[in-house]
A = this chain, B = another copy of it.
């Protein structure tokens, strides 16, 4: 980045913040932001989108073959504390824990060590700060070494059940995958929706496929943390005016990288910190896209309630599109 952002960029960022902010919209105590747009009607509408009884998983496996390069964020590691080889070898007779003779019984057990943001996950509203504040104006120092006292990911649990729409950008553009640096603008999303006779409604989830996960799968390189296609900063007003409750992409950071202005992750600043929109990252949208291409139906019941990890900056999720 240059030594300073230009005045013009700074002004634009502040205009977007001002026009897209939802601070206070759902009360000063609110910790879920745009998910307030999802109520019983939206859940009913979502259930009505189940047409053929097919759940499709949108979650990458959590394992050592994941996209992380290691270091700040490692891939999920599973550590076994009891195994079938122990059982077969007689090491579980008697059973541990004072449970007595095994009499043929055996078990496996394990411990998971994973950065909450290492794979398919939701950002919490405590994940990103802007000038000392997080969503709804709460002070950033409410997130200390013991976790987030407010806006933690547990607030999302039980809530992400809503109508979902898939925007398949590479299909729209007639390419296999968007390239790093390719920004997705509002006009293009509007085109896609029109082409498929779709409209979005308040409380919908927008799942935007870039094809970048498909391009890098199994040979991740700098997939997680490097340059990437993604949503344009300039999409922020469209997301706000359409009252989109959640967006998710098949990239590490939702928005295009490198960033379009000399601020780091400006769409996060505008739409997550101020708009309170749920951001989902590294969602695997390939199987869903294949199914949508096959049956021509790009809407579905989206169920993606994250694990209630108290005070966490984000959480892994077993996300489903149910068609």
- Residues of chain A at the chain B interface (Cβ within 8 Å): 1, 5, 39-44, 47-48, 50, 52-57, 59-65, 70-91, 95-97, 99-117, 126-132, 134, 139-148, 154, 157-159, 161, 225, 262-265, 268-269, 301, 303, 305-314, 316-318, 320, 322
Contacts and interface: CB of A to CB of B under 8 A. Distances in A.
A305 B77 CA distance: 20
B63 A311 contact: yes
Given A53-B42, A110-B116, A111-B114, A141 B85 contact: yes
A318 B317 contact: yes
Contacts of A312: 78, 110, 112
A264 B105 contact: yes
Contacts of A262: 103
A241 to B, nearest CB: 25
Given A43-B55, A108-B126, A89 B81 contact: no
A67 to B, nearest CB: 13
Contacts of A90: 141
A158 to B, nearest CB: 3
Which 6 pairs from chain A and chain B are nearest by CB? Answer: A40-B53, A57-B158, A84-B143, A84-B140, A43-B53, A106-B129
A151 to B, nearest CB: 10
B73 A74 contact: no
A80 to B, nearest CB: 5
B109 A305 contact: no
A313 B108 contact: yes
Contacts of A48: 47
A64 B322 CA distance: 33
Contacts of A89: 84-85, 88-89, 141, 144
Given A55-B159, A85-B85, A128 B106 contact: yes
Contacts of A132: 87-88, 106
A80 B80 contact: yes
Contacts of A55: 43, 158-159, 161, 305
Contacts of A309: 61-63, 76, 78, 112
Contacts of A320: 158, 161, 303, 305
Contacts of A264: 95, 99-100, 102-103, 105
A86 to B, nearest CB: 5
Contacts of A65: 310
Contacts of A59: 157, 307-308
Nearest to A40: B53
Contacts of A102: 264
Nearest to A113: B113
